[in-house]
Structures are given as structure tokens and as C-alpha cells.
Structure 1
Amino acid sequence: MTTADRRTTWDTASTAPPDLLELLERRARQDGDRAALVHASAVLSWAALYESVQLARPAYTAPTGGRTRVGLLAHNHPGTAVALLALLANAAEVVLYDARATEAERDQVAELGGLGRWCDASAADAPGGAAVPPRPDASWGDVADRAGAPAYIGLVTSGTGGLPKVVRKSWPVTLANSADFAASAGFTREDRILCTTPLHHAYAFGAALLPTLLTGATLVLAPHPPAPAALARALRESGATAMQSVPFLYRALLECGERLEASGLRLCLSAGEPLPRELARAWRERVGVPLRDQYGATEFGQIAFAADDPDGPMRLMPGLTARLSDENGTWLTDPGPDTTGDIHLRQEGAEVAYWGLRDLGSAALREGWFRTGDTGRLPGPGLVEVEGRTDRRITVAGRKVDPDEVERAISSMAGVSECRVRATPPAPGRTGDSFVAFVAAEPTVTEIALRRHLARLLSSYKVPTRFHLTERLPRTGSGKVHMARLWQEAGV
């Protein structure tokens, strides 16, 4: 990406990301009547967003004393953006978290993040309505002196099966990463971005909310959790030119029976888990717009994006470098385009760190490279292809079992809608190699029938030790299978 490309993303002569609040003020003055944030219950123009942040700042100050960070309970509503911008204007270090989390979960994150208090930008208290022109003399100094931008912002991640981790993210690097992604995706002020995943997740935050604020586009917030039929209507009626979602929701849209139409749609983003080829083909045939795969992580933001070819490898974002190691940890110094290995990443200007878990970041690093837990290839300079997770590898009596192969065999049985295969977690007193298949299926599907089906397709050591049958697999807020809940349901 050239310097000129990055400049056009935020319309400034500087190669560094701008002060987000100054940019918001300029948009309010120059383009105030255009919609910035759209929700079923509230629409904020750029002028109204600016004015709302001004008015909200006194209520969203950083706490004083030993704990100066603020936890923001996020909803997919314009009020969350207003609260976040108000906190950033007050130079508060913010940790975004799910507003639907339990009190116990909040307490755990507050302890890890060193939070002084929680703010809940609930829809009931959030601003909305028509555009309110800013006062001619309005500036951020009218409410309080600008304290400068925060050094860090926190996002919470637990993957799909672990305890929460509060990732400490450099605010300047986070902004630059989102600006680079916006330029790679070609976002402009003319775009209307349909956001279908939670704003507190790195995917929606870095690939939808921040690009909107940086480019002057319009962000359309789908209700969350989104029902497929309602999401299909939002796609038809929102005027979306771009859509951000996950494979699970794209598949649900194809299967919900609703018309999938969006005359101006040009870009569909998929992230959160690898994009199945058959799903990408089905979406393109039905909607007429290709699904473009995106690779991201809470620790790094947007890592890579299929900008060149929707069916080809993804291109790494500026500032990110990748390398491979084999399964024994040996660096692959000159891997060919077809060589698969464990993906390690490094990001210019940032280091991986977690609030409250001081040693965790350094433990994940090897010679300054972060082990992502993903396997893949580097088919060319600046390119990456992700194939799966290293922690999915299963060893049975010294032989390797590919969970993807087992999942495909199980899914080929009539009545099975989806499944996940995982190695049994280690536990005291548990011996031997074992792994479990979590299967969403119709009531007519039985374990005996599954075993007979697999016996015709797989070697005996590849047949799961145990099956857990359920009506549907539970999902996290970002659409991933909630493995921690499945392990709990199975009593493992």
C-alpha cells in the first residue's frame, strides 16, 4: 500500500492515523447531515454523533485512584460508539466487553483489566434521532481540555474454550491497522457497511466500526444476536454496499428461505473461522457477490485479507510479517508455496501483552514471534493461506488423526447438520488417547448409526472415542462454536 493510498483513507496529508476526535469534528462540520450510524431504533448523522459525544463526555470520565481504566459494556447500538468516543476524548483506557455477560464474568474481566468502573451504554440511555447541527463555535475544548489519546485499548478474548484474556492493544497501532484494512477493502464515504457481529469483538471493532469512523462511511448495525430472516431483510433494506459476517451466519442466510438481495452490494467479508469453499461458491451463485476471506486475531487486529482474488491467498496488512515452523518448533527458513507449517506473526510498533496476565504474552512469543495456533502456507511474498488450528491435532496410539477428515465423514451422514471433533482435555486420572465428536443432528440419528457409518469410511483409530449428540451446537457472540459450553454439556 502506498502513502497516497493510506492518505485517502482518512483524507489527511499525514501518513499516520489522525486524531479520531478531530476527524469526527471535521466530518460534522463538512458533512454533518449524512448518516454515520444506523440502527432500527436510532439514526445518528455525523453532526449528531459529534454533538452526542460532546454532551456525553462529562458522564464518561476516567476514574481516579489506583484503577483508572474503564470497562464499557457494549451493545450493537449507536450509544456504544458515543460512549467509546467520549471515553477516548477523555483519554481513558477502555476495555470493551459484552453487555450480556454475567456479573461473575464482569468481575473476572474487571480484575484482570484493573478496571475502576463499568459503563453501560444501554440502548435505553443512548442518544438517537435526527441530526443536530454542531454549534458554530463547538470544539472539544468546550467541554473539557483534550487530554490526548489513550496509549492502549483493551479487547477481551477467550477463543472458543478458555478463560477470558484482556488483550492490551496499542491505540495508535490499532487505528493504523484499521485504516490499512479500510484502504485494502476500498471503503469510502459512499459505503454503507452492514455489521452483523458484536462491536466488542475485534472483527466488528477493527473491520467495521473504526473503518467507518476513519473513512466517513455509514455503519448499519444489525440487531444482535441476528435472526437469519431479520438479517436477510436488513440486507435488502439497508442499502448495504458491504457486509461483515461469519461463515455460520452466511450459511444460515442461504438456508433461511428469505430473498437475498442488495442491489448495491459489492463486498462481503468473512472471518472468525476458515471459509469453506463450498459455502463461498454457494454464496456467489445465490447473491452474485464473492465472499472474501479475512484473517484476524484480537492480538493483532486485521491480519490479512483476500483483496486481490476472492479465491486466492490473503494479503498481509502493512506492518505484519509472518513465518512458519514445523510441528516440532523448527523454523522453516525457506518454505515453498506448498509447505504447511505453524503460523507465527510479528507486528511493527506493538507487542503482544495481556492485562492481568503479565507472563502470558511473553510465553506466547518465540524470538519475538507470536505463535498464532493456526496452520497454513506462505504462497508468496506478503501472502498467507490459513488451513486450520494446530491445537486440533489429535494423536491416537502414536498416529495422527485429522479432525477435519473425521468431521467431513460425520457430516456426510443424513440427518447431521454440523459437528466438531476435539481431543479430550487432559485431566487427573484420565489415561489413554481419546477424542470426542460433538454432533448436531436430527433425533433419528443415533450413536450406533454414526459408528456404523464411520466404519465404512474411516480406519478404526479415526473413529471418535465418544459422541455427544445435540439438537444444535451452541455459538459465541461472534458465531463460533462455543466449545467451553459443549465440554460442560458433555460432562467432560
Structure 2
Amino acid sequence: MDDTLIDVLAGHRRAGRGDRLALVDQRASVTYAELERAVVARARELRAAGIGPGLRVGVVLTSSLGSVVDFAAVTSLHAAVLVLQDRAGAAERAAALADFGAARSLVDGLVTELGPVEPGDGGWSFAVTSSGTSGRPKVISRAWAGTLRNSAGFARGFGLGPDDVVLTTSPLGHSYAIEAGTLAVLSAGACQVVPPGPLTPARAALLAERHRPTVLQSVPVVLDWWGRGEVPRAGGWQRCVSAGDVLTAGAVAAWHEAGVPVYDHYGNSELGQLTLTPAGGQGAVGRPLPDVGLTAGSDTPAPVAAQYPGLAPVRMEAGRAVPLADGAGWVTTGDLGVLGDDGLRLTGRSDLLINIGGNKISPAEVETALRGLPGVSDCAVVGRPGPAGESQVWAFVEAGADEFDAAALRRGARELLVAVKVPSVIRRVDRLPRTGSGKIRRGLLMEADA
């Protein structure tokens, strides 16, 4: 397999695909041959600026051609690259760079020295920050070659090919967007469309008519939002893929009515892309992708562990690497699930289980029940201390002020759940707090003033 992105781009040119579009942003588009020339030229400039094998570099990725060229050039120089989100706050970004031990940063095309180069090197690696849904984001680093191979495996499993045009809605600084998006698209010789910021359904429909994307790579909240408009029937969609949060029946309904299949995808910061399935909903995320190993409960939920060869994931803390895999390469994901003949079904996070008098309650189970009740657009369930310090189940519900009736929701929940799982507190919110990739920020809901 080709090791660098320059190798990947050159391979498409040699195969006669040099004149095919590779990337489209809000201002320009480039073919594979043009992108190859741009990355080679940029790599020459960055090498002259001191970037080379093993140097730890933080790269802020934006949804722009220039940002992708910078990323491709730095990785092709065999540097250790930390992908940073452009919407992250200054303090969060600085903390991530410090944990990674970055010697340089690359922001808007400018290289900045952050400190001396440490003895030894960071290896040829790829690092991301975790979503930070339950606290401060962690920096996870893995081997570059294994990461690129994992993204190529996702592309094959999803059936991406040179005729596909993939519209990616998440910012490229998120691991899902860059790995299951950019790296997968480039490995398949397809084209990626990267719009600037969130698009309203009206703007998304116009973009779909203009660029005729065949694939939508997105998250449940966007699928739901766009589905309420005319986006599923605009352009020439052939399929969608969703990740990052629970894919509900409501989020896929409009797409299915328009004849567009929706795939559910499961991955994480430690190991990349893990499973894929035609939307089963309610936690079903399907069978492992090629070369992915999975273990979970057989009848009852148990911790999910995963393995992918050649990644050797570590968590970076103050510039030092803390191994995450055991001796055989298995990593505990923090999720709970059941693995059967139809693949993996997730049942919640082990670190979010709520202990009520010895009863372990899965927020995912309570959320599934609440989402089926009238007036609930979406919800999030967390454990919070009650007046006497005891654990309580709290539910935060997205609902209109005129539709919200906490007592009615509690009565409905009692019909679906045993008493200990019924929320003690049900609170209405206009919008649940989310990360840039659409994941619910449960840590904020656990705070006293939420």
C-alpha cells in the first residue's frame, strides 16, 4: 500500500485519474494531478522550514483546500502530526499541543516554533483529540501507516469509488471527518466536497444540486435537520453514512422515504473506523470492517474491546506516551455492547452508568424510551446528585415550550421502564449542548448549573 498521501495522489495520476476532481471547497476545486503538485510544492517549503521525520507538529485543519494541502504535506514528510479543530478555544488548543509535546504548530499556513525539539522523535504518527463529551479532550496518537490503511479499509467496506462525490458536513479537524472522509476519499480516488460551516437545509439543497454529491458523510443531528427540508430529494444522493451519536429512526425517515440508504458507522479516537451497517438504529452499528477485531457481551452487555493491526495507540500526556493497548493490541473502548450474528449493538458507556441503590442504569436505554414519546425531538440522560447526595437520573429533553409536559413524559416513561430507571428530573432545553461533530456534551449536563 502507498505510505504517504503524495504516493496516493501519484498513484491515481498514474492510473489515468489525474484529471478527476479530488477536492472542492467554497472557493475552488482541484484535480488529483493538481492536488499532487500542490502537496509536493508545499512539502518542499515545509521541509525548508525545518519540518521533517518525527517532528511533532500541531496542524489546525479547516474546511479549505489550503488546509488539506498543509496536512497532506506534513504527513508526507513523516512528521508526527496532531490534527486540531479550528473551532477549539485557545486554552483547549494550547493544552492539546502541550500534551502532544508539539515543537511546531501550523495555522493558516504559518509555521510557529513552540519549543525545543526533544531528544528522539515522535515517530511517523497521526494524532487527534477526543470529542471531549464528558470532560477535557484527550490526545490520542497512533502509527500513520496503520491509520491510512484503516481509512482505506473503511472506503472499501462502504464501497467508495472514483465516481463518488462525498459531501462531508463535520469540520475536518474532527477525526471522523478527516479519516472516514478525506483519507478514505483520497484512497478511493473519489471527490470530497467540504462546505464552510453548518449549512441550512436550503443552502444544503442548493449545494447538492450544484455538485451532485452521491454520498453524505454526516452525523445524526444533521441528517435529522436536513431531512426536515428538501435535501434528501435534492441532487443525486445514493447513500449516507452517520457516526458520532445514536442514529434514531426519526433521523433516517426522510432519507429512506426518498430512497436513500443510511449506514450507521462506529469508530473511536483510539482505533479509527470499526464497524459499518445499513441503518439498524437504536444502537445497532453492524459488523466489523476488514481487519478489525471486536469483543463484547454475548447475551448481556459487556465492555467492548477492539483491535486493529499496526496502530499501537497511545494517549499523550505532557509529551509522554501512555500505551492504550494490551500486549495483543486490544483496546477497551469504554462502550458497552452485545456482539451477535448481526454484529455489534451498543448499549451505552461504562463511565456513564448511573448507580441507583446498586442498580446500574444505562442512559442509552432511558434515552431510547424517551425519544419515542410525543413532543421529544431528542434527549440526553445523565446521573446527578440529589438533595441528599444520592444519585438521580436526570433527563434533558429538546422540546418546544408549548409541547413540553414533564409529568406526561414521566408517566410515559413509567409505562416503558422499571421504576428505578424513570428520571427523577426532566428538564426542557431548546438545544442540547453538542461538540462540532454533533456529539452531546454530557459533561456540561452533569454540572450544577446545567
Q: TM-score, normalised by structure 1?
A: 0.78
- Please state how far the C-alpha of 1:185 moved relative to its aligned partner: 1.5
The sequence identity of aligned pairs, in percent, is 34
1:72 lines up with 2:59 in the alignment: yes
Residue in 2 aligned with 1:22? 7
Q: Moved runs in structure 1, 4+ residues, more than 6 A?
A: none
Distance 2:366 2:296 in 1: 26
Distance 1:416 1:342 in 2: 29
- CA 1:400–1:106 in structure 2 vs 1: closer, same or farther (change >3 Å)? closer
Residue in 2 aligned with 1:229? 202
Distance 1:368 1:349 in 2: 9
* Matching residue's letter, 1:324: A
| Structure 1: unaligned runs, 5 residues or longer | 1-15, 126-148, 326-334
After superposition, where does 1:7-406 map in structure 2 within 5 Å?
16-28=1-13, 30-61=16-47, 63=50, 68-121=55-108, 151-255=124-228, 257-262=229-234, 264-285=236-257, 287-306=258-277, 311=280, 314-324=286-296, 335=298, 338-356=299-317, 361-362=323-324, 369-380=330-341, 383-406=343-366
- Which has the higher mean CA deviation after the structures are superposed, 452-461 or 44-53? 452-461
Distance 2:96 2:28 in 1: 29
* Partner-residue secondary structure (3-state), 2:233: coil
* Matching residue's letter, 2:445: L
* Matching residue's letter, 1:20: L
* Partner-residue secondary structure (3-state), 1:424: strand
* Partner-residue secondary structure (3-state), 1:200: coil
- Which has the higher mean CA deviation after the structures are superposed, 468-477 or 110-119? 468-477
Q: TM-score, normalised by structure 2?
A: 0.85
* Matching residue's letter, 1:160: T
- Please state how far the C-alpha of 1:201 moved relative to its aligned partner: 1.6
**Cα offsets for 1:39-72 (capped at 9, x unmatched):** 121211222212222332344347579x931111
Residue in 1 aligned with 2:118? none
Rg: which structure is higher?
A: 1
**Among candidates 387, 391, 406, match of residue 433 of structure 1:** 391
Distance 1:442 1:480 in 2: 21
- Please state how far the C-alpha of 1:223 moved relative to its aligned partner: 2.4
* Partner-residue secondary structure (3-state), 2:247: coil
**Among candidates 362, 378, 390, match of residue 418 of structure 1:** 378
* Matching residue's letter, 1:266: Q
- CA 1:303–1:460 in structure 2 vs 1: closer, same or farther (change >3 Å)? closer
- CA 1:117–1:398 in structure 2 vs 1: closer, same or farther (change >3 Å)? same
**Among candidates 441, 445, 449, match of residue 486 of structure 1:** 445
Residue in 2 aligned with 1:135? none
Distance 2:108 2:177 in 1: 17
Distance 1:425 1:74 in 2: 39
Distance 1:310 1:458 in 2: 25
Q: What is the root-mean-square deviation in Å for CA atoms of aligned residues? A: 3.2
- Please state how far the C-alpha of 1:194 moved relative to its aligned partner: 1.1
Distance 2:231 2:11 in 1: 39
* Partner-residue secondary structure (3-state), 1:378: strand
- CA 1:466–1:188 in structure 2 vs 1: closer, same or farther (change >3 Å)? same
- CA 1:443–1:278 in structure 2 vs 1: closer, same or farther (change >3 Å)? closer
Distance 1:395 1:173 in 2: 38
Distance 2:239 2:408 in 1: 42
- Which has the higher mean CA deviation after the structures are superposed, 106-115 or 84-93? 84-93
* Partner-residue secondary structure (3-state), 2:69: helix
- Contact 2:275-2:288 within 8 A present in 1 as well: yes
| Structure 2: unaligned runs, 5 residues or longer | 111-121
**Cα offsets for 1:72-93 (capped at 9, x unmatched):** 1111111121001111232221
- Please state how far the C-alpha of 1:398 moved relative to its aligned partner: 2.5
* Partner-residue secondary structure (3-state), 2:59: strand
* Matching residue's letter, 1:393: L
* Partner-residue secondary structure (3-state), 1:476: coil
Distance 2:78 2:300 in 1: 45
Distance 2:26 2:242 in 1: 24
- CA 1:275–1:447 in structure 2 vs 1: closer, same or farther (change >3 Å)? closer
- Contact 2:201-2:225 within 8 A present in 1 as well: yes
**Cα offsets for 1:78-128 (capped at 9, x unmatched):** 112100111123222111111122211111011101112221237xx9xxx
- Contact 1:228-1:252 within 8 A present in 2 as well: yes
- Contact 1:396-1:434 within 8 A present in 2 as well: yes
